[in-house]
Structure 1
Amino acid sequence: MKITQVEAIPFAIPYSKPLRFASGEVHTAEHVLVRVRTDDGIVGVAEAPPRPFTYGETQAGIIAVIESIFAPQLIGLSLVEREVAHERLNRTVGNPTAKSAIDMAMWDALGRSLDVSVTELLGGYTDRMQVSHMLGFDEPAAMVAEAEMMRDTHGITTFKVKVGRRPVSLDTAVVRALRENLGSGAELYVDGNRGWTAAESARAMKEMSDLDLLFAEELCPADDVLGRRWLVQQLDVPFIADESAVTPADVTREILGGSATALSIKTARTGFTGSQRTQHLAEGLGLEVVMGNQIDGQLGSLCSVAFGAAYRLTSHRAGELSNFLAMSDDLLAEPLRISDGELTVRPGSGLGAEIDPDKLRHYRSDR
């Protein structure tokens, strides 16, 4: 089970509808397919979605760091030497999605080698998760229509609403319209992507205090230390740390410093190994956890549900697993299906993911 090759293949698939939020917008999934090959012919796969406006990574940068730095450090290692791999990757600062995709591809290859699913390797708590759908910036009527379509077509009843625009009333009106049209049976929470100030965030949450929100996520900048702590003290819902709490050290700082009371875990930026560390820490601290989404494609969403289903804590809440529905196509030979508001773990070994070679040839952008 020794690693013989680490590949980074760029591909580009347009979104049928651009995704817009406070920190940027995405029109095309310019992602990287990562493949880890072993000496016994096993191939593990994962997806790296660069988000330059959040983590500073680009598609070209992911390919460069994997090919020039990470691959030479990992070739010759066994798939079970994950701590050695983790140490070597972390000699290089940053590059979270490049590191995470390699880590998840190694777990996939290990599961395939042992003929065991990744979910079983990680914990095996369940085989499915409820799905939360992210609603990007738009007019209230359009966002309500999208939510109703997701409910009626896919059975989704939990919605993460992107906020952070100015004036604040633009977004509070959207959330109110969603509650009025979807009724009490829908779960709603808001994500500001650090778009408001602490004062604007407090005002917005006060305006929405009667709407029975589940969470508030990253409403204001993380580096506004005093404002953020002041805001969290005003809220009567859990405040999710997302981009501000990526590593276990970040989590410890944010939670013990009073800057957050819940966490978002995204396998696209912490892999399975790092996400496992964060999940255990959250469990020990008694925190609410939501499985987040980095605007992943189907392979990335499959990684998220594989991890989220492995533990009681991460499967307790609906996970953000539906962004792939906005893509015009994907690389998987068998597309994912959301049914009755749930996404299930793929049967079979590893992640159960098979890449369609014709689609890869069509969408890869290095040829």
Structure 2
Amino acid sequence: MRLAGWSLHPVRLPYRAPVEWSDVAEVSADLLILRLRAEDGREGASEGTAKPTWSGATLASLATVLEGVVLPRLLNRDLSAPGAVLKALARVPENATAKAMADAAVRDLLEEEGPSGELPLSWTITLKDPAAMAREAEAMVAAHGFSALKLKGGRTFERDLETVRAVRAAVGPGVALTLDMNGLYADGPALRAHVASLAAAGLTHVEDPTTLRPDEAFRRIQSACAAPIMVDAAIWSEADGATFLERGARALGIKPGRVGPSVTEAIAARATAAGAEVAIGLFGESDLGAGATWRLAARMPPGWPPAETSTFLLFDRPLTKEPPALRGGRVALPSGRAAARADWATIARLHP
């Protein structure tokens, strides 16, 4: 299978309400849709997030890299050959999101039907005061049946504990809770005492409490916490995942939007061999981009944390012709290629 052409479709997708992440407050998300066309007429699509503090890219810079660096290297290659995309891009440094988008779009070309059935998802509660986060947790569990929640933290130790306790009181003991501190704290004895308190308060995982490195400091903070420390922000390659696993990591958060589906699967295989867990995170934020992540997560071992790909609920409209529905915290896996599911008319109207 060889590539015949491509097109890029920038989107500015409004949120239903303003969203505050750890590093930025937003009223909309900038997304770039890549549409590939094969010589035999098949089409594939993928979605990338254009956020300078997350992907290191804007819509313009991401499009430039795809057009000028990444996609030309896929021409005149048999993309159905094993590892073809990774081999074609092996000599291209950096530009993780663009390479991940190419990998996912080619996979969409090749894979007409993926896994079937339903997949459990978690819901992420963005930064608000603890009482508001507890109300949202209660509402989302009641409305959609989520059995796992990720809470954003990292403001102060006291605020973290207040948030965890408020949410736990709101949703009861049966919902798994992860606190993501986005690496905002300095390492040291005070932080180790804090993560121990968080685990005692009923967290399932503690994610990125500080800037994690595969060193002695990582061993100390993991030893201090009864719950697994989830390593997320530091995972940008298969080598990163392997190094943390060698250091005894018990849980990794993998963002396919950073490393692509092929590397995600390679890291997950290493984690399985090491007896560690993996939480599959974002590829694209919309319902169109999330489908690629759902298919990846459906192939992971049972018992791992639910996929963190329910952000499509934050937006004021879908980007697919048949939007996904949640039942009991689970989403039905989409059938067919993303390029066929995409609502291209809506995508065109959202051009910024």
Q: Normalised by the size of structure 2, how large is the TM-score?
A: 0.93
SS of residue in 2 equivalent to 1:312: coil
Which residue does the alignment assign to 2:59? 59
Q: Does 1:281 align with 2:270?
A: yes
Moved more, 213-222 or 14-23: 14-23
Structure 2 residue runs without a partner (length 5+):
none
User: Would the alpha carbon gap of residues 238 and 276 (structure 1) be closer, same or farther in structure 2, given more than 3 Å must change?
Assistant: same
User: Would the alpha carbon gap of residues 224 and 267 (structure 1) be closer, same or farther in structure 2, given more than 3 Å must change?
Assistant: closer
SS of residue in 2 equivalent to 1:7: strand
Which residue does the alignment assign to 2:329? 341
2:283 & 2:23 partners in 1: Cα distance? 13
Q: Does 1:236 align with 2:232?
A: no
Contact 2:70/2:89, CA 8 A, preserved across alignment: yes
User: Would the alpha carbon gap of residues 229 and 52 (structure 1) be closer, same or farther in structure 2, given more than 3 Å must change?
Assistant: farther
Q: Does 1:227 align with 2:223?
A: no
Q: Does 1:328 align with 2:316?
A: yes
Contact 1:176/1:208, CA 8 A, preserved across alignment: no
Contact 1:49/1:296, CA 8 A, preserved across alignment: yes
Match of 1:152 among 128, 139, 142: 142
User: Would the alpha carbon gap of residues 143 and 295 (structure 1) be closer, same or farther in structure 2, given more than 3 Å must change?
Assistant: farther
Match of 1:266 among 242, 250, 255: 255
Find runs of 4+ consecutive structure 1 residues off by over 4 angstroms.
Answer: 223-226
Structure 1 residue runs without a partner (length 5+):
120-125
Moved more, 81-90 or 214-223: 81-90
Which residue does the alignment assign to 1:361? 348
Q: CA RMSD in A?
A: 2.0
User: Once the 2 structures are TM-superposed, how far is the Cα of residue 345 of structure 1 from its aligned partner?
Assistant: 0.9
Contact 1:132/1:156, CA 8 A, preserved across alignment: yes
User: Once the 2 structures are TM-superposed, how far is the Cα of residue 54 of structure 1 from its aligned partner?
Assistant: 3.4
User: Once the 2 structures are TM-superposed, how far is the Cα of residue 330 of structure 1 from its aligned partner?
Assistant: 2.8
Contact 1:100/1:272, CA 8 A, preserved across alignment: yes
1:326 & 1:207 partners in 2: Cα distance? 31
Q: How does 1:1-367 map to 2 (within 5 A)?
A: 1-112=1-112, 117-119=113-115, 127-165=117-155, 167-199=156-188, 200-223=190-213, 225-258=215-248, 260-293=249-282, 296-313=285-302, 316-347=304-335, 349-351=336-338, 354-365=341-352
**1:266-303: CA deviations, max 9, x gaps?**
22222221111111111111111111126711122111
SS of residue in 2 equivalent to 1:12: strand
User: Once the 2 structures are TM-superposed, how far is the Cα of residue 201 of structure 1 from its aligned partner?
Assistant: 3.1
Q: Normalised by the size of structure 1, how large is the TM-score?
A: 0.89
User: Would the alpha carbon gap of residues 226 and 311 (structure 1) be closer, same or farther in structure 2, given more than 3 Å must change?
Assistant: closer
Which residue does the alignment assign to 1:123? none
**1:8-54: CA deviations, max 9, x gaps?**
22111111223323333443210100111101111101101133213
**1:33-85: CA deviations, max 9, x gaps?**
01111011111011011332134222211100111111211122233135232
1:51 & 1:242 partners in 2: Cα distance? 17
Counting matched residue pairs gives 351
Give the counterpart letter for 2:186 in structure 1. Answer: T
**1:295-326: CA deviations, max 9, x gaps?**
7111221111111012325x632111211111
User: Would the alpha carbon gap of residues 311 and 294 (structure 1) be closer, same or farther in structure 2, given more than 3 Å must change?
Assistant: closer
User: Once the 2 structures are TM-superposed, how far is the Cα of residue 221 of structure 1 from its aligned partner?
Assistant: 0.9
Give the counterpart letter for 2:346 in structure 1. Answer: K
1:295 & 1:88 partners in 2: Cα distance? 23
User: Once the 2 structures are TM-superposed, how far is the Cα of residue 184 of structure 1 from its aligned partner?
Assistant: 0.7
1:171 & 1:64 partners in 2: Cα distance? 40
1:69 & 1:23 partners in 2: Cα distance? 29
Contact 1:21/1:163, CA 8 A, preserved across alignment: no
Give the counterpart letter for 1:24 in structure 2. Answer: V
